[in-house]
Amino acid sequence: MKQLILTDKNKCNLSLTCIRTCPAKAIKIADGYAQIMASRCIGCGHCVTMCSKDAISIRDEKTLVKELINSSGNIAAMCDPAISGEFTDITDYRKFVAMIRALGFNLVTEVAFGVDLVALKYKELFSNFEGKYYISTKCPPVVDFIEKEHPELVKNLAPIITPFTAMAKVIHKKYGTDTKIVYITACAGAKNDARKFNNTDGKIDAVITFIELRELFNEFEITENSVAFSEFDPPVGRKGGLFPISHGMLQSVDINQDLLNGSIIITEGRTNFLQSIKEFTTDVELQQHLDLFYCRGCHMGPGASPNGKRYKRRAQVIKYVKKRLAGISIDVWEKDIEQFSSLDFKRTFKASDLRLPIPTEAQIQQVLHEMGKANERDQLGCGACGYPTCREFAIAYTQGLTNYEMCYTYTNKQLHTYINKVNAANEKLKKTQEALLISEEKSRAEEKTAREAAETITAMLDKLKAGVVIVNDKLKIIESNRVFAQMLGDDAQQISELIPGLKGADLQSLVPFHRYFQTVLQSGQDLLNRDTQLGNTLLNVSVFTIHKNSVVGGIIRDLTKPEVRREEIINRAQSVIRENLETVQQIAFLLGESASKTEKTLKSIIESQKSGDADDHIQ
């Protein structure tokens, strides 16, 4: 048997409404959507009616019904009394009966007669109860709930079958045991409950809801305008048609409901149902039978059309019964009752204890503390979570049936905490953005200064008549002037036009004296006035440290040029020192080196030239 209540994960919006309303706590959130735990579900269908996204549905049996209709033999439709409150849009019940026949049913009966039979059995039971108080078993969710959640009360369940099961027995006796029966109802739980009698004369082959019946009418394009009047097949009920309404079944056989002399508590609706069960369990002074509806009357069941008006449906049920009573022969009804009263209406029940272990007091208090409800005055509960008190919610939490997000006050506090954090984060972000703007402006200013400094360095280096090159520890050129590129030849000059200052070029591939630079990088000691040959040119090279072991600079002079003849160098050396001192100082400042090294270099050139002159005179 397929699961009774199903969920569509694509429609579920995790509102938790279904979890809050489930009396058996048979719904959990897993894999991102609400899932029904079939073993715990009591089939009340409350979650179906409460889900605003239509993500929860009742097992559909229309396909099975169509297969039964197309099969051979008798096929009977058995209508729940609540049907008179559902199809208010059909002007006459006889048209309604005819529409059902048009679907392919050979027989159309009403469960009202089964209600009359079962009500008589309750009258006998309540009249001879001998001090043992009973809970009515006409509502499948009530029975399921007690078997699973209150197994200690199984012995108090009235040992009487449901009215629809009783009517199935009547149909099989009157029309043959091979008659196929389809029960039409607003009750979701009846779909499973009916299957419990598959091996008896109370067998029902399929159960569809009022909603499913409307869908079949639409599918086969059946309307009241397309059919003629038709009556229900006998036997027909009398006051049993009041069954969907609280008190209805008991009134059908005049069971005493007087407040002073009666012994029956009649209630309906989820909250009243749960409270009455609880008090029946704990309060021995109650001393009353319980006649319970899980829904607010069968006419408001989950299989009825949504958004139905409760009291309008109630009025329609009463109106229909009054009309039917006027046309029913009491003599025929009494004969039918006598004929079928010999059927077996007994029923047994089986406890299926699904109660979860009760946590320790320490565990409960820990949950309450984590929820911010350590004080008793905070534990009264608002009921939004589906539990009457915060303590009961905490128990359910330890049992794995709830989560903190289902608690309104907890969620509200968390929301405010989150909002405060967001506001604080926004404020911090605002300050960070302001700081970033300031930093960005500063960076732009520094970038501009650096760019201007670089342009100044380049301009200053290009004014020097000697070649200048600066390299890093990988011997990659950081900066060089135009004279240096000219010394290297036409190819280097062309490259310099494309890449100013030959930035990034490998010094090793450009000059043979790169070892001078490597030596200074490794030793940190300046290397001055080294003569070296580059092609047909005699060069004088001086290499000095700018940043120890990471950046060095070199000054290269072409000694073959006329303007730098030795005698001229001697005469002009002092003048060169004075004229270039400021330039060298600015370069050294920008490159991280003092002007004294440049002065030392130039003086060493003078001394070298004087020494050279002395040698020439000796020769």
pLDDT in tens, 437-487: 998 888 888 888 877 877 777 777 777 888 899 999 999 999 888 888 888
pLDDT given at position 486? 87
Question: Mean pLDDT, to the nearest integer, of 86-103?
Answer: 94
Cβ-in-10-Å burial (0-12, 13-18, 19+) of 518 comes to middle
pLDDT given at position 150? 94
Say which range, 35-39, 131-135, 280-284, 421-425, has the weakest mean pLDDT. 280-284
Residue 33: what are its φ and ψ, rounded to 5°? Answer: -155, 165
Say which range, 2-6, 417-421, 568-572, has the weakest mean pLDDT. 568-572
Question: Mean pLDDT, to the nearest integer, of 350-369?
Answer: 89
The token pair at 534 is: 């580059």
Ranges of each domain in the chain: 1-58, 60-340, 361-406, 464-618
Q: How many CB atoms lie within 10 A of CB 252?
A: 25
* Cα–Cα distance for residue pair 580/230, rounded to 1 Å: 123
pLDDT given at position 619? 46
pLDDT category at 167 given cuts 50, 70, 90 is: very high
Question: Mean pLDDT, to the nearest integer, of 1-25?
Answer: 89
Write the DSSP symbol of residue 79.
E
CB 85 within 8 A of CB 299: yes
CB 185 within 8 A of CB 80: yes
The token pair at 490 is: 């036409």
pLDDT category at 327 given cuts 50, 70, 90 is: confident
Query: Highest mean pLDDT: which of 221-230, 554-563, 590-599?
Result: 221-230
pLDDT digits (tens, 9 = 90+) for 494-523: 888 888 888 899 999 888 998 999 999 999
- Nearest of 555, 558, 543 to residue 487 by alpha carbon: 558
CB 14 within 8 A of CB 34: yes
Residue 275: what are its φ and ψ, rounded to 5°? Answer: -65, -40
Q: Out of 3.30.450.20, 3.30.1390.20, 3.40.50.2300, 3.40.50.280, which CATH number does the structure's domain 464-618 have?
A: 3.30.450.20
3-state helix, strand, coil in the chain (%, to 5): 50, 15, 35
CATH no., domain 1-58: 3.30.70.20
Of residues 614 and 377, more confidence is placed in 377
pLDDT category at 577 given cuts 50, 70, 90 is: low
Dihedral over Cα of 73, 303, 188, 32: its sign: positive
Dihedral over Cα of 312, 316, 317, 322: its sign: positive
Of residues 529 and 9, more confidence is placed in 9
3-state SS of 590-602 is HHCCCCHHHHHHH
With H, G, I as helix, E, B as strand and everything else as coil, classify residue 362: helix
With H, G, I as helix, E, B as strand and everything else as coil, classify residue 63: helix
Same fold, 1-58 and 464-618: no
| 614 pLDDT above the threshold of 70 | no
| 579 pLDDT above the threshold of 70 | no
- Nearest of 352, 449, 1 to residue 205 by alpha carbon: 1
**Residue with tokens 């469960």, as numbered in its chain:** 111
pLDDT given at position 610? 62
Distances (CA, A) of 441 to 100, 434, 453, 455: 82, 11, 18, 21
Q: In sequence order, what are the residues at sequence separation of 6 or more whose Cβ sits closer than 8 angstroms to the Cβ of residue 556?
A: 466, 467, 468, 469, 484, 487, 539, 540, 541, 542
Counting every residue, how long is the chain? 619
235 upstream amide cis, omega within 30 of 0: yes
* Cα–Cα distance for residue pair 116/170, rounded to 1 Å: 12
DSSP sequence for 213-273: HHHHHHHTT--GGG----PPPSS--SGGGGTTSTTHHHHHTT----TTT--EEEEESHHHH
Mean pLDDT of the chain: 86
CB 496 within 8 A of CB 461: no
With H, G, I as helix, E, B as strand and everything else as coil, classify residue 33: strand
pLDDT given at position 569? 55
**Residue with tokens 């889900």, as numbered in its chain:** 51
pLDDT digits (tens, 9 = 90+) for 40-82: 999 999 999 999 999 999 999 999 999 999 998 899 999 999 9
* Cα–Cα distance for residue pair 448/109, rounded to 1 Å: 96
| 182 pLDDT above the threshold of 90 | yes
